[in-house]
Amino acid sequence: MKKLKFLVLILISILMLCSCGIDRHNEDDMGYEDNPVSSINIDEEEAAALNEKLPVVLYFGDAEKSKLVKEIRYIDIKEAKKGAETLASAIIKELLKGPKSEGLTAIIAEGTSLRSAIIINERVATVDFTKEFIDNHPGGKELAELTLYSVVNTLTEMKEIERVKFTINGKETKTFKDGVALNSDFPRNEAVVNKEVGLARPEDAGLAPVGDLDGEDSVESSGEDLDPLE
């Protein structure tokens, strides 16, 4: 009788061991791991840095100063959280610093500064520059227009802004350079943007075609862009 009980206990033990082995094997087949590893391999400092920056698009002149080219710049996310006007002011201050990418040219006159914070009213942003914006500009109608749209196109990247108004030292001015009017609201102008050149990032050595950035061929617009000044 004792032998029979002993054999039964042994048999039960064997069955239990087999059952555990089968369960473990099934877990392995399903891809379960004791120590799963994350596919994202960045440390806490890098993650924090990414979360603290907001990408914005600035417009600078190309090498010939005949068209505008986009450049990505990064703004402290804290500025964006302060409101649209604070963010707009921070963006223009970045624009005044000039481009960081090769092949781009600063077309806003040297010495120009933002005299006061940008005001947004009914989607119209008022930009108040110091007198150097006009006094130090080299002139030329085409370059003058391009300079204005460097500011206008940069600000109208923001959904809160549709048009831009300029003041100099807090006052409206009739003309900019070579007969280019300055006393009106300026809408965005895609006609002066170089469509053949992609976003120039500061970390890049130069400019890359649009197709090279996205892995696809660039697509031309089906319609002609109209210049608001014409």
> In sequence order, what DSSP letters do the residues of the chain get, joined into one string?
-HHHHHHHHHHHHHHHHHHHHHHHHHHHHTT--SS---S----HHHHHHHHTEEEEEEEEEETTSSSEEEEEEEEEHHHHHT-HHHHHHHHHHHHHT---STTEE--SPTT--B-S--EEETTEEEEEE-THHHHT----HHHHHHHHHHHHHHHTTSTT-SEEEEEETTB--SB-STT-B-SS-EE--GGGB-TTS--B-TTSSS---HHHHHTS-----SSPPPPTT-
Per-residue pLDDT tens digits of the chain, which is 230 residues long = 544 455 545 555 555 555 544 444 444 444 434 443 333 454 555 555 557 889 999 999 999 999 999 999 998 888 889 999 999 999 999 999 999 988 899 999 999 999 999 999 999 999 999 999 999 999 999 999 999 999 999 999 999 999 999 999 999 999 999 999 999 999 999 999 998 776 777 665 455 554 444 433 333 333 344 454 44
Query: Domain for residue 18, yes or no?
Result: no
Query: Domain for residue 125, yes or no?
Result: yes
Query: Domain for residue 95, yes or no?
Result: yes
From CA 160, how far away is CA 111, in angstroms rounded?
Answer: 28
Query: Domain for residue 96, yes or no?
Result: yes
Pairing of strands 53-62, 68-76: antiparallel
Predicted pLDDT of residue 78 = 87
Query: Domain for residue 152, yes or no?
Result: yes
Predicted pLDDT of residue 210 = 45
| Structural domains of the chain, count | 1
From CA 71, how far away is CA 101, in angstroms rounded?
Answer: 8
Query: Domain for residue 17, yes or no?
Result: no
- Residue 54: count of CB within 10 angstroms of its CB: 17
Query: Domain for residue 27, yes or no?
Result: no
From CA 92, how far away is CA 90, in angstroms rounded?
Answer: 6
Query: Domain for residue 21, yes or no?
Result: no
- Which residue range(s) make up the domain with 196? 50-202
